[in-house]
Amino acid sequence: MISTVERGHRRFGGLYVLADPAQGALLPGRLEAALRGGARLVQYRDKRREVRLEDIRRLRALCRACGVPFLVNDDPGLAFRLEADGVHLGRDDASLADAREILGPAAIIGASCYDDIARARAAVAAGADYVAFGSCFRSHTKPEAPPCPLPVLTMARSELSVPIVAIGGITPQNGGLLLRAGADVLAVSAGVFGATHVEDAARSYTDLFLDT
């Protein structure tokens, strides 16, 4: 059974894919394949801020057709304009309170907590719908990110009522360790979108949840 955690009316669990527009014209097809492979959450993650609204709306439409929430990284204003399902916030982004005011009570708002359990506690108190920890393993996407030890996930799972997301360097070979440590969600970018066969790659992650 897919691991899930409830918070109010929310329910999360499974594979969370981070879609990078660097994939260019291939991204919609690759996202569609990831959804077929079982992705349960999608985040549009454009650190270069090269926003083309019509392209992002196409991705959002693919997610809606599958009943999968579509989030935007960093930018509550963009999420609002796109009518996205929510936003993911990092250390230097808008506050949770500001994001909630912009997006409303139904939005999914996640927070990066790195390796900091105190930050996670504060995020939950401020209304975060999930908290993300990482880099759990060495990541080519964010090689400068501090490592997040597995016991942090275990502590978070024991203390917090929201879903625990693990991110950073996650593979089908090491993802099970994170689920057993306490993660509810595995966030993956290159491991899915960098694969030759995206649907198969996504399924190799979603299969991990069947064993936990």
Measured CA to CA, the distance from residue 1 to residue 127 in angstroms comes to: 27
The residues with which 12 forms a beta bridge, in sequence order, are 5
What's the token pair of residue 119?
A: 């930050």
H-run or E-run covering 64 = helix 53-66
User: Looking at residue 137, what DSSP letter applies?
Assistant: S
> From the candidates 3, 100, 112, 139, which is the catalytic residue?
112
3-state secondary structure 147-203: CCCHHHHHHHHHHCCCCEEEECCCCCCCHHHHHHHCCCEEEECHHHHCCCCHHHHHH
> From the candidates 57, 81, 121, 142, which is the catalytic residue?
142
> From the candidates 45, 60, 100, 203, which is the catalytic residue?
45
45 is catalytic: yes
Which residues are annotated as catalytic? 45, 112, 142
